[in-house]
Amino acid sequence: MLKYFILILCFISCKFGPLYSKDIREFEVGTNIKSIPEERYANIRCLDSDKLLKLWNNFNLCKKRNDENFYLGFEYDDKYAFNENFEGTQIAGHPVTINIAVNKKGIIQKITVNTDPNAPPYFKKQAHLFWMRIYSKYGSKDWKCNDIEQKEDHAIINKRYTNRICVKNLKNKKITYHTEFYFLNNKEKKEKESLVSRTKLIISNLNL
C-alpha cells in the first residue's frame, strides 16, 4: 500500500510540479511567460479585448496599456485536475479570477487575483477571508495596513466592518491586498445581493 502511495505522489510531483511553490502555480513575478506550459490552462485571452490566444508566446498580439504591459486572463483547465478539490479556477479553496501583466520581453510584471464575484453564495460569503491564505503564503509579519473609514452606505455585519488595504515588500516584489466585508444600504436589493465580501490580491514588481 505504501509503495502505491509513493508512486501516486511521484506521479503528481512529476506531472504537475510544486503546485504553489511560486506566486500562483507556475506563475511568479519576474519569470518569463514563455516558460509556462499551455496545458492545464484554458481560455488564455487578451484581457482588454477577450481575443483568444493559443500560446502564451502570443501575448504581444494583445494591445499594450499605458504602462507598456500586455494584460492576459486565463482559467484553470479542469481536465488536468487530479481530484475535485482542484476543479475550477481557485486558490486554496476560494474561486478566483486571475490576470497577469507581461512586458515586451515576456517577463511577468504583475499578477492580479480577485475572489470570483460570480461564485456560489457560500464561497462569496467566505471571500473576505482570502487574506488569511495570503498571510499563510507570504507570512504574517511586516504588513503595513490601512483601515478605510466606514462610508454612510455601508452597514456593519455582526458588529464587524472590514475595509482594509495591506502592503508588504518581499525581496523584489510588492504584495498588496484589499479585503472588504459589509452590507450596502440598499432597500431595493435582497440581503444576499447587498453583501460585499471580496478580496483583491496584487503581486507586482517592486519597481512597477
Q: pLDDT by residue for the chain (208 residues), tens digit each?
A: 433 333 333 333 333 333 346 899 899 999 999 999 888 899 999 999 999 999 999 999 999 999 999 999 999 987 755 545 556 799 988 999 999 999 999 999 999 999 999 999 899 999 999 999 999 999 999 999 999 999 999 999 988 899 999 999 998 899 999 999 999 986 555 556 789 999 999 999 987 7
Using CA atoms, how far residue 188 sits from 192, 195, 197, in Å, is 12, 13, 19
Q: Evaluate whether residue 140 is within a structural domain.
A: yes
**Dist CA 102 CA 28 (whole Å):** 11
For residue 162, CA distances in Å to 103, 126, 131 come to: 34, 13, 12
Residue 142 lies in a domain: yes
3 state SS of 137:
helix
Residue 2 inside a domain? The answer is: no
- Does 13 reside within a domain? no
- List the beta strands (DSSP E) in the chain: 41-46, 70-76, 90-91, 94-102, 108-115, 144-147, 154-155, 162-170, 173-184, 195-205
Q: Domain span at residue 120?
A: 19-205
Cell numbers standing for residue 198: 471580496
36 inside domain: yes
Q: What is the pLDDT of residue 191?
A: 57
The answer to the question of residue 46 being in a domain is: yes
Q: What is the reported pLDDT for 16? A: 36
Closest to 162 measured CA to CA, from 141, 177, 142, 172 = 177
CB 180 within 8 A of CB 198: yes
Residues written for the chain: 208
Q: What is the pTM of this model?
A: 0.84
Instruction: Name the domain count of the chain.
Output: 1
CA distance 200 to 45: 20
Look at residue 1 and tell me if it is in a domain: no
Instruction: Quote the CA–CA distance of 168 and 138 in Å, as a whole number.
Output: 9
Residue (of 124, 116, 126, 112) closest to 176 by Cα position:
112
Instruction: Tell me whether residue 3 is in a domain.
Output: no
CB-based burial label for 55 (10 Å; 0-12, 13-18, 19+)? exposed
